Structure 1
Amino acid sequence: MSMGSMGFMGSMVLALAAGIVIGVIFQSLKIPSPAPPFLGLLGLAGMFLGQRLIPWIQQLLNNK
């Protein structure tokens, strides 16, 4: 199944499920989190914004 056919909501559910599974594994094995929670969330937010930035700029330039 390609990302296009799964849709945005499907990929969000898949990402959440993967995060929960990894969190359960880390907790079960007593492995500390690889990054402080705040920095991890900030990094994810940056990745999300960066991923959305290029299409937004392309759309902005194409509309002129």
Structure 2
Amino acid sequence: MGYVISLGVGFGVGLLYWLLKVQSPAPPLIALAGLLGMVLGEHAIPVVKAQLFTPGATVQSAPPSSDSSAKKPLAPGAAKEGG
């Protein structure tokens, strides 16, 4: 399958060269710009996938404790016991 994709992309780039009337092999600046685009695209795909397909953070709370010795949370501004 990788060969078919590679052939299709190569055909597309060849068509783009023909439309832009760029000789193959391309001049160095155009070739470097194309290589830069390939490298950026290669690195951008995993980043985009990570942003789009990461599961949302879920918050789970523990059930209330039936232990009678559990302390109640302190009121705001109250001092802690035992220091």
Larger Rg: 1 or 2?
2
Larger RCO (alpha carbons 8 Å, 6+ apart): 1
